[in-house]
Amino acid sequence: MGAYILRRLLLIVPTLFGIMLINFALVQFVPGGPIEQVIAQIEQSGSATDRISGGGAEVSGGGGDSEYIGARGLPPDFIEDLERQFGFDKPAWERFAIMLWNYIQFDFGESYFRSISVVDLVLEKLPVSITLGLWSTLIAYLVSIPLGIRKAVRDGSRFDTWTSGLIIAAYAIPGFLFAIMLLVLFAGGSYFQWFPLRGLTSDGWENFTLWGKITDYLWHIALPVTAATIGAFATLTLLTKNSFLDEIKKQYVVTARAKGLSESRVLYGHVFRNAMLIIIAGFPGLFLSVLFGASLIIEVVFSLDGLGRLGFESVLNRDYPVVFGTLYFFGLIGLLIGILSDLMYVWVDPRIDFETRET
């Protein structure tokens, strides 16, 4: 197992390199780089000096444009100074090499437009995304596992049929559409105003009592967590049902019933332990999918200040240090959680041996 983990850790390096290289290459063809963003802001405000005083930071990478539309009225020296500040006075391959070298040292530079380091930005936004991912994953497990077991026990019944229909219908609804529907129905749209429209806490939350803080927090996260859970809920329920059905049909279950064991003893004393292996081992992967997959849409729709919204706004603003920094962070976390998922499989089922697999 040690050799397998070592191989997986070593594979992180070329995988991350490929991710960063492909995205860096794509950025070179995206119009409207950060310098054009600054020029547009300058032309809108009519003052160049006010804009350049806080936007210059030494950075390690990003994409650039060779021509800046609308910059004809600005002095060439000013454009050259902008290129130096943003690092675009170097060729693309050199910027990419500098970026990788800095990232290896976990130096992600500073945001172009926020005057704050990328690490500080990620640490500031991370708790919101972690909260959303943990609550969604926990609720998905608490609801889906009992429901999946009941569907497996009553396979083919009317209960199994109509719950499957509801699950498939819920899974078919796009996440952003479901989130908007919740806002319209329950957050001050055309119907009810039972929940807040945005944020994780109310104004003056610091002055609330402990119980007031807890209830206010739960009140704010109810709709975002519901919207983020819907996709994982459907997948996990059907996975639980199919896993239990597969175990129920095995010979050891027939033998246990022949010995006179009660149905609950067979189900929870024998089947449960074996059927839950794949479900428990899949916890890291499910958390990762909820965290990275749902965070963007949910955080944007519900105005939550997390990593998903940060990445979305950074792409719109062409804030390349934040874009590539979060991409590197997400890629590294995803690869490490992939290794953790494999370790979880071995932990819950020691019969699994990755050393014998073909690689």
Residue-range domain boundaries for the chain: 2-112, 119-317
What is the chain's mean pLDDT, rounded? 75
- Which amino acid appears at position 277 of this protein? L
Cα 65 versus chain centre, distance? 30
pLDDT at 65: 44
pLDDT at position 166, please? 86
Give the model's confidence band at 337: pLDDT under 50 very low, under 70 low, under 90 confident, else very high: confident
3-state helix, strand, coil in the chain (%, to 5): 75, 0, 25
Query: Percentage of the chain surpassing pLDDT 70?
Result: 77
Fold of 119-317: MetI-like fold (1.10.3720)
Q: Where are the beta strands (DSSP E) in the chain?
A: none
Question: What's the whole-number mean pLDDT along residues 199-219?
Answer: 80
Task: Classify 187 as helix, strand or coil.
Answer: strand
Would you call 260 exposed, middle or buried from its count of C-beta atoms within 10 A (0-12, 13-18, 19+)? exposed
Provide the 8-state DSSP code for 198.
Answer: S
Check whether 135 has a pLDDT greater than 80.
Answer: yes
Residue 117 is predicted with a pLDDT of 84
**Stated pTM of the model:** 0.69
Residue 51 pLDDT grade (very low, low, confident, very high; cuts 50, 70, 90)? very low
Residue 43 confidence (pLDDT) above 70: no
Residue 74 DSSP label:
S
CA–CA gap between residue 131 and residue 228 (Å, rounded) = 11
* CA gap 282, 257 in Å, rounded: 29
Q: Is residue 61 scored above 60 in pLDDT?
A: no
342 pLDDT above the threshold of 70? yes
Contact (CB, 8 A) for 229 and 140 = yes
**When comparing pLDDT for 187 and 158, which is higher?**
158
